[in-house]
Chains A and B, each alone.
Chain A
C-alpha cells in the first residue's frame, strides 16, 4: 500500500516535470475517449428515440390488415381486400383471451374547413377504444363515447397540426368545422405525439366515430359495408403478443371460412418486431462508429508506450539505484505501470468531459437526441485504464528487468 502510494506520488511528480510532454501524450487518449463517448451518445440517443416511439405508438400493439385479393388473376397488395369487418373487431376481444382490446379503423382523406381556413388531412373513423390502443389522450375537451358511435353523432377530435392550421391560437373546442361540407362539432384536441420514427406528423389527423365517418365522410365500401381498413389489437402483455396472434389467426380463419391449406385473407403485424429491427440497425451503426473511434484510443496507447519507453531510458540510473537499495522486479513494474495508467486515466477523464461537451454541441447543432449514460462513462474509464496497462506493460517490464549494474553505470 505505501509502495503504491509512493508509486503514485513518484508518477505524478515525473509527469508534472514534463508537463507539455505529458499533455501531448494524454491528448491521444483524450481524443480517443471523447470520440467514443460522443459516438456512443449519438447512438444511444437514436435508440432511446426509437424506444420512445414504440411507447408512443401504443404498447403491445398488433395490427391486422386485410389480405390481398385476386381478381381475374391480378393479385393486389396487402390491404386491398375487404375481408376485415367491424364484426371481426368486436369478436376478437370476446374470443381471444390474450387480447385486451381491439378496434376497427377506417381511413380516408378530406378537406376540412373552418371559417376562411381550410386544410387537407387524414380522417380516421374509430371507436373509443382507439384512444387506449394508440396511447392517445385529449389535451383539451373530451373524447367521444360509445353512444356517439352508436348514434353516429357528428363530433370530431382534432390533432394539433389541424388545430394550428384551422384555428391558429384560438380554442377549437365547441366550434363547428365542415368536413366534406358536413358540419362537425369539435369535442376535443388530442395531446401531441410528434413525429413518428418514419418522420410522419402524427398530429395531422382528425378522429371521428367510425359510424359517422362511414355515413358522412369516407363512405361505405361498395363491396362490403361492414369492411374496415385495419383492426388494431392490444395484447394483454408483451409476453402474450405471440399467443394473441395465434388466437386471432385461428378465430379469423374460422370466421372467414378458410379451409386448411387455404392462405390467410388477412395479415397480422406487431409493431414491436418492426421497431426491434430498427433499433437493432441503429445499434449496429452506433457500434461501428464506436469501433472506428476506439481506433484512436489504440493510437493514443501507442503514444503512451512511446513516452514510457523514453522515460525508462531517461531514468535508467534511477531504476538501477532503486534496485540497489532493494526494489524488487514487481516494485519497478508497479511504478512504471502506475505512471502509464495515471497518464491514460487522466486522459480518459478529460476525454469524458470533452465527449460530453461534444455530444451537447451535436444535439444542439444537428438536433439529434444524445444520451451520455453512466455505462458509457464507466466503459471509457475502464478502456483508458486498459490502454494504459496494456501499452505501459512492455516499457514497465523492460524497466523492471534491467540489469542493476548496467543501469547504475548508465550515463
Chain B
C-alpha cells in the first residue's frame, strides 16, 4: 500500500523583498498511514514551511507531493480548501478559535464548508465536544475557557470531519506542563484507538518523546529521521539481534 504522504525533492523559495529565502531545499520522505511523527528543528529550519505544504495551505515551488496518491501541487485554491476540509485537521499553538463564537459553533465550523450536508450535524458536534471532555460547555465563549479547554475545542473542531491527518503546530506551546501532557494524551489516544496519522511540530524533547518517529530539520533539509520510544525500542532490539547474529 502506498504511503499516506509522499514527498520527493520538495523545494519552496520565497521572495522577501530583495532577499530570496530558500526555505526548503529538496526534501524527500514518506509517512505511512497511522504513524505518529514529531518534526523538530530550530526556527528558520524550514519545518513550518514543510508543515504548511503538508497541510495544503501552500504549494511547493518544485517537487512532488502525493497525498493519498493525489499530486497536490497540481490542485487549485479551492481544491486545496476541499482537501483541508476533508483530510486534514489543524491544531495551532494559539488555538485559533473564533472569539465571538461559542465552543459549539467553533467545533461546527468545518461542517459549514463541507460540500455535502452532514446529517445530524448538531449531534455530531456535541459528541466531538464530549469526546474531548467538554460536555456541558457548548455555549461557552473561548474567553470563558482555560487554555487547555480551548485547545480541546480546537481538537474537537479538527476532528469533526474525520480527517486522516492531524497537523499540530506546537500544540502545547502555550500550556503548562500538566495541561500539555493531558493534550498529548488525547493525541496518543486518537492515534492508538482510531489510527489517525499525527504530525506535530515541537521544540520540546519531552513532547517529541510521545512520537514514534522524529524528523529533524536544519537549513531547509532533513538532517535526521529516527524512530523513538517503543518503535525505537523494537528497532533497537532488532538491531541488537542483527548485531549479535552478525558477530557470530
Distance between B23 CB and nearest chain A CB, rounded to angstroms? 11
Main secondary structure of the interface of A (DSSP, over half): helix
Contacting pair A405 B81 (CB below 8 A): no
Q: Is the CB of A17 within 8 A of B100?
A: yes
A322: interface (CB < 8 Å): yes
The reply to whether A325 and B78 contact each other, CB–CB distance below 8 Å, is no
Residues of B within 8 A of A14 (CB): 100
B112 touches A3 (CB 8 A): yes
Known: A3-B112, A6-B112, A13-B100. A324 touches B117 (CB 8 A): no
- Asked whether B64 is an interface residue with its Cβ less than 8 Å from the other chain, the reply is no
A75 interface residue, CB < 8 Å from B? no
Which residues in chain B, 69-122, are within 8 Å of chain A measured between CB atoms?
77-78, 81-82, 84-86, 90, 92, 96, 98, 100, 109-110, 112-114, 117
B residues in contact with A3, CB < 8 Å: 112-113
* A318 part of interface (Cβ distance < 8 Å): yes
Kindly state whether residue A329 has any CB partner on chain B within 8 Å: yes
Task: For chain B, give the interface size range.
Answer: 20 to 34
The contact of B113 among A17, A327, A404, A405, by CB within 8 Å, is: A327
Residues from chain B with Cβ under 8 Å of A408 in the complex: 57, 92, 96
- The reply to whether the CB of A323 lies closer than 8 angstroms to some CB of chain B is yes
A2 cross-chain contacts in B, Cβ below 8 A? 112, 117
**Interface flag for A328 (CB, 8 Å):** yes
Which residues from 304 to 361 on chain A have a C-beta closer than 8 Å to any C-beta of chain B?
317-318, 321-331
Contact partner, A325, options B77, B84, B100, B117, Cβ 8 Å: B84
Complex formed: what's the CA distance from A405 to B96 in Å? 13
The answer to whether A327 touches B81, judged by C-beta atoms less than 8 angstroms apart, is yes
State how many angstroms separate the Cβ of B62 from the closest Cβ of chain A: 18
* A407 to B52 Cα, complex, angstroms: 13
In the complex the two chains form, is A321's CB within 8 Å of B112's CB? no
Check B58 against A328 for contact (C-beta < 8 Å): no
Task: Output the nearest chain B residue to A3 by Cβ-Cβ distance.
Answer: B112
Asked if A405 contacts B114 (CB within 8 A), the reply is: no
**Cβ contact within 8 Å between B98 and A325:** no
Residue of B nearest to A401 (CB): B77
- Rounded to whole Å, the gap between the CB of A403 and the closest CB of chain B is 8
Q: Is the CB of B92 within 8 A of A325?
A: no
**B97 closest partner in A (C-beta):** A321
- Size of the A side of the interface (Cβ < 8 Å), in residues, is 22
CB within 8 A of B78: which of A13, A324, A329, A405? Answer: A329
Q: Which of B86, B90, B114 contacts A324 (CB under 8 A)?
A: B90
A285 to B117 CA separation, bound complex (whole angstroms) = 54
Cα(A322)–Cα(B14), bound, Å: 24
Bound CA–CA A276/B77 (angstroms): 59
Residues of the A chain whose Cβ atoms lie less than 8 Å from the Cβ of B78: 328-330
Q: How far is the CA of A6 from the CA of B101 in the complex (A)?
A: 12
Query: What are the residues of chain A within 8 A of B47 when measuring CB–CB?
Result: none
Known: A3-B113, A326-B113, A328-B113. A405 touches B52 (CB 8 A): yes
- When the two chains form their complex, are residues A325 and B85 in contact, meaning their CB atoms are under 8 A apart? yes
A317-B78 Cα distance, complex, nearest whole Å: 19
Chain A residue numbers with a CB within 8 Å of B213 are none
How far, in angstroms, from A329 to B55 measured CA to CA in the complex?
17
Whether A329 lies near B77 (C-beta < 8 A) is yes
What residue in chain B is nearest A5 (Cβ atoms)? B112
CA distance A322 to B121 in the complex (A): 18
Which listed residue (A325, A404, A405) contacts B109, Cβ 8 A? A325
Q: CB within 8 Å of B: which of A31-68?
A: none
Assembled-state Cα–Cα distance A14/B55 (Å): 29
Say yes or no: is B152 at the interface (Cβ < 8 Å to chain A): no
B77 touches A326 (CB 8 A): no
Which residues of B in the span 17-60 have a Cβ within 8 Å of any Cβ on A? 52, 55, 57-58
Q: Are A331 and B96 also in contact (CB < 8 A) when A326-B84, A326-B85, A405-B52 are?
A: no
Known: A325-B110, A328-B81. 15 other contacts (CB 8 A): A3-B113, A14-B100, A17-B100, A317-B96, A318-B98, A321-B98, A325-B85, A326-B113, A326-B114, A326-B161, A327-B113, A328-B77, A328-B78, A329-B78, A408-B92
- B residues sitting closer than 8 Å to A (CB atoms) are 52, 55, 57-58, 77-78, 81-82, 84-86, 90, 92, 96, 98, 100, 109-110, 112-114, 117, 157, 161
